[in-house]
């Protein structure tokens, strides 16, 4: 049963034993170095898990864990949200997307606010649900606003293929999909944030494979470890990294139950068939070359970015959100605690920026689990 | 939105596109296109309505044993 797989990974006795051993190892390493060791967790789901389990605080002061830009909702650019809102306001158009995207502010409100003003915005759990919506409502034009990294993009890839196969002409995809290696590259190339090692995203890695991260060790001379999300898996990843700390930088895999060396071939093939890499805007990181996934030419008919371009022709460029440091948080330059608005006007109930809106946002994780410095 | 959860395949529909999976008592239908080699009884990771990878139970057991050896029994 599923329980039997998960239970040992949540075992508190094992967890405590491992934690003590790991704290001791990092203590030695940090003492030798004469300063705390700074690790970045790229993935927003890791940010949440590290806050929820308390591991982030328990490793202080020897290890400082900084959050990276691995929350697809948070890195969605205000410009794209403004366009999506413009799209949702077109009569006859339904925008379908994941629930998390609804409350994210563009520079002129959110999709949720657009819905309150009469736009047809639907929440779906899967791109397949959006396709079903289009099939059930042939009189409407259904646009799936597709956010997510490599874990999510294959689902969209396969759905577009299904739409083409079934000849569904009123279904469209607005792809916000982004690739994580270019995102991480941009962060690692940023001199402002000194980091000593990277905790790599487990569920992205099951698609792209462990080897997709070799550039971290080869080009940036930093060690990395692919980690799972259960407490024991997170501790194992941190322990494994400590064990190999003195060796040449390498990318370790502590999530072998699902992450293979080369990843998921069928998913990679689906991506290659449906998408082409394009330059993409990331909130906080700017325009990153080759980091986005646009629909391939053969799916042009289903590409909302092409088919609805008129809707946002006259949109003004986005305005920044006053006082919000989400962009710096996403780059690991500061933590939410450094933002003046954190807890003072910006909270999960009244979010100001995307890092507080999204479940996987760093600000939301800090607020929900009361992370203290 | 990044939630990915383990589930077990209980039935594969004709054509092999869709499967019924069970996760902690909940049953639902998921796309199987991304793990064409999956069989009934396999544990998979489900994300955005699709099974995205098969859980390798052997690898899971081996890595757990390794971590234990490395991190719990020393000192
Ligand atoms: S606390 Fe709120 S305002 Fe400050 S960076 Fe985070 S999301 Fe932006």
For ligand 1, atom 1, the nearest C-alpha belongs to A342
CB A305 within 8 A of CB A174: yes
How far apart are alpha carbons A34 and A12 in whole angstroms?
Answer: 32
Q: What DSSP character marks residue A316?
A: P
Task: Render pLDDT for B2-51 as a digit per residue (tens, 0 to 9).
Answer: 778 899 999 999 888 899 999 888 899 999 999 999 999 999 999 999 99
Q: With b meaning 16 or more CB within 10 Å and e meaning fewer, what string describes A316-328?
A: eebeebeebbbbb
Where residue A292 sits, what CATH number does that domain have? Answer: 3.40.50.11740
Under the banding of pLDDT at 50, 70 and 90, the label for residue B75 is very low
Closest CA to A146 of A103, A183, A104, A97: A97
Over residues A209-217, the mean pLDDT reads 97
Give the count of beta carbons closer than 10 Å to the beta carbon of residue A60.
Answer: 12
Q: Round to the nearest angstrom and report the end-to-end CA distance of chain B.
A: 41
Which phi and psi angles does A355 have, rounded to 5°?
-70, -15
| CB-based contact A289:A178 (threshold 8 Å) | no
Give this prediction's pTM: 0.93
A5 closest CB neighbour out of B22, B43, B47: B43
Q: Which of B4, B52, B74 sits opposite A267 (nearest CB)?
A: B52
Q: Is residue A369 part of a domain?
A: no
> What contacts A316, CB < 8 A, 6 or more positions away?
none
pLDDT at A144: 98
Residue A223 has which token pair? 């060690």
The answer to whether residue A104 is domain-embedded is: yes
Least Cα separation, residue B70 to chain A (angstroms): 8
- Choose the closest CB to B4 out of A5, A6, A151: A151
Total domains present in chain A:
1
Give residue limits of the domains in chain B. Answer: 5-73
The predicted pLDDT at position A200 comes to 97
**Is the CB of residue B35 less than 8 Å away from at least one CB of chain A?**
yes
The answer to whether the CB atoms of A264 and B49 lie below 8 A apart is: no
Tell me the per-residue pLDDT of A70-108, one tens digit each, with 9 for 90 and over. 999 999 998 999 999 999 999 999 999 999 899 888 888
CA-nearest residue to A206 within chain B is B53
Rounded to whole angstroms, the Cα distance separating A118 from B10 reads 42
- Cα gap A114→A109, rounded to integer Å: 7
> What's the Cα-to-Cα distance from A117 to each of A141, A145, A220, rounded to whole Å?
19, 19, 48
Establish if A344 belongs to a structural domain.
no
Q: Do A239 and B70 touch (CB under 8 A)?
A: yes
Residue A135 lies in a domain: yes
Handedness of CA A6, A10, A14, A17 (dihedral sign): positive
Per DSSP, the three-state class of B47 is: strand
Angle of the B57-71 helix axis to the A231-243 helix axis, nearest 10 = 60
Provide the β-strand partners of residue A95: A121, A143
- What pLDDT, on a 0 to 100 scale, did the predictor assign at position A373? 55
Angle at A276 (CA atoms; ends A271, A280), nearest 5 degrees = 110
More confident residue, B74 or A16: A16
Query: Who has greater pLDDT, A105 or A207?
Result: A207
Range of the domain at A273: 73-179+263-308
Taking phi over 0 as left and psi of -120 to 50 as alpha, with beta for the rest, A281 belongs to beta
Going by CATH, does the domain composed of B5-73 fall within 3.60.20.10?
A: no
Q: Determine the residue among A49, A155, A156, A268 to mutate to test chain B binding: the one whose Cβ has the most chain B Cβ atoms within 10 Å.
A: A155
Question: How far apart (Å, rounded) are the C-alpha atoms in residues B9 and B41?
Answer: 5
Average pLDDT value for residue range A346-359: 89
- Measured from the Cα of A354, ligand 1's closest atom is 7
Question: How high is the pLDDT of residue B72?
Answer: 67
Q: Does residue A54 form part of some domain? A: no
Q: What is the pLDDT of residues A233-279, one digit of tens each?
A: 999 999 999 999 999 999 999 999 999 999 999 999 999 999 999 99
pLDDT for B10: 95
- Cα of A27 from ligand 1 centre, angstroms: 32
Instruction: Kindly list the protein residues whose Cβ atom lies closer than 6 A to any atom of ligand 1.
Output: A 324-326, 329, 336, 339, 341-342, 346, 352-353, 355-356, 363
Residue found under tokens 């939105």: B1
Interchain CB distance below 8 Å, B6 and A99: no
CB within 8 Å: B67 and A232? yes
Q: Is residue A372 part of a domain?
A: no
Chain B: residue nearest A269 by CA? B34
Residues of chain B positioned with their CB less than 8 A from the CB of A45 = 2-4
Residue whose Cα lies nearest atom 3 of ligand 1: it is: A324
d(C-alpha A134, C-alpha A162), whole Å: 12
Residue A100 with chain B: CB contacts under 8 Å: 1
Range from A4-13, A89-98, A148-157 carrying the lowest mean pLDDT? A4-13
- The tens digit of pLDDT for each residue in A235-245 reads 999 999 999 99
Whether B55 sits inside 8 A of A257 (CB atoms) is yes
Cα–Cα distance for residue pair A106/A109, rounded to 1 Å: 6
Min Cα separation B72/chain A (Å): 6
Most confident of A41-50, A210-219, A341-350, B7-16: A210-219
Chosen for mutation from B3, B48, B61 (greatest number of chain A CBs closer than 10 Å) is: B48
Answer yes or no: is pLDDT of B69 > 50.
yes
Average pLDDT of A19-24?
92
Sorted by sequence, the CB contacts under 8 Å of residue A12 that are 6+ apart come out as none
Phi, psi of A222 (to 5 degrees): -120, 145
Q: Which residue of A has its CA nearest to B3?
A: A45
* Pocket mutation for ligand 1, best pick of A324, A332, A333 (most atoms within 8 Å of C-beta): A324
């Amino acid at each position: 049963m599923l329980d039997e797989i998960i239970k040992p990974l949540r075992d508190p006795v094992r967890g405590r034993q491992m934690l003590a051993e790991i704290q001791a190892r990092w203590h030695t390493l940090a003492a030798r170095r004469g300063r705390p060791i700074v690790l970045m967790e790229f993935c927003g789901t890791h940010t949440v898990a590290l806050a929820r389990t308390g591991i982030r605080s328990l490793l202080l002061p020897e290890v400082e864990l900084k959050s990276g830009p691995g929350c697809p909702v948070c890195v969605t650019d205000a410009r794209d949200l403004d366009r999506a809102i413009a799209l949702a306001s077109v009569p006859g158009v339904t925008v379908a997307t994941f629930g998390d995207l609804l409350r994210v502010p563009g520079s002129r409100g959110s999709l949720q606010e657009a819905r309150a003003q009469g736009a047809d915005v639907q929440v779906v759990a899967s791109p397949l649900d959006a396709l079903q919506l289009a099939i059930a409502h042939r009189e409407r034009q259904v646009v799936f606003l597709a956010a997510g990294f490599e874990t999510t993009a294959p689902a969209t890839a396969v759905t577009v293929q299904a739409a083409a196969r079934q000849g569904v002409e009123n279904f469209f995809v607005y792809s916000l999909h982004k690739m994580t290696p270019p995102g991480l590259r941009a962060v690692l190339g940023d001199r402002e944030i000194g980091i000593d090692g990277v905790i790599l995203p487990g569920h992205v890695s099951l698609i792209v494979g462990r080897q997709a991260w070799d550039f971290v060790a080869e080009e940036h001379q930093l060690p990395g470890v692919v980690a799972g999300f259960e407490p024991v898996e997170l501790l194992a990843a941190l322990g494994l990294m400590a064990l190999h700390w003195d060796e040449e930088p390498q990318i370790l895999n502590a999530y072998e139950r699902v992450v293979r060396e080369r990843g998921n071939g069928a998913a990679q093939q689906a991506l290659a068939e449906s998408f082409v890499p394009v330059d993409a805007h990331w909130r906080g990181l700017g325009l990153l070359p080759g980091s986005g996934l646009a629909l391939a030419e053969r799916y042009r008919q289903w590409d909302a970015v092409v088919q609805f371009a008129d809707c946002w022709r006259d949109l003004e460029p986005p305005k920044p959100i006053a006082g919000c440091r989400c962009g710096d948080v996403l780059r690991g330059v500061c933590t939410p605690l450094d933002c003046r608005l954190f807890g003072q006007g910006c909270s999960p109930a009244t979010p100001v920026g995307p890092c507080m809106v999204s479940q996987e946002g760093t600000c939301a994780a800090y607020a929900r689990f009361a992370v203290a410095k | 939105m990044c939630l990915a959860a383990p589930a077990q395949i209980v039935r594969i529909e004709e054509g092999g596109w869709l499967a019924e999976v069970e996760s902690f008592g909940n049953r639902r239908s998921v796309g199987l296109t991304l793990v064409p080699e999956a069989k009934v009884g396999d544990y998979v990771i489900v994300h955005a309505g699709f099974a995205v990878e098969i859980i390798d139970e052997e690898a899971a057991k081996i890595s757990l044993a390794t971590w234990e050896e490395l991190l719990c029994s020393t000192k």
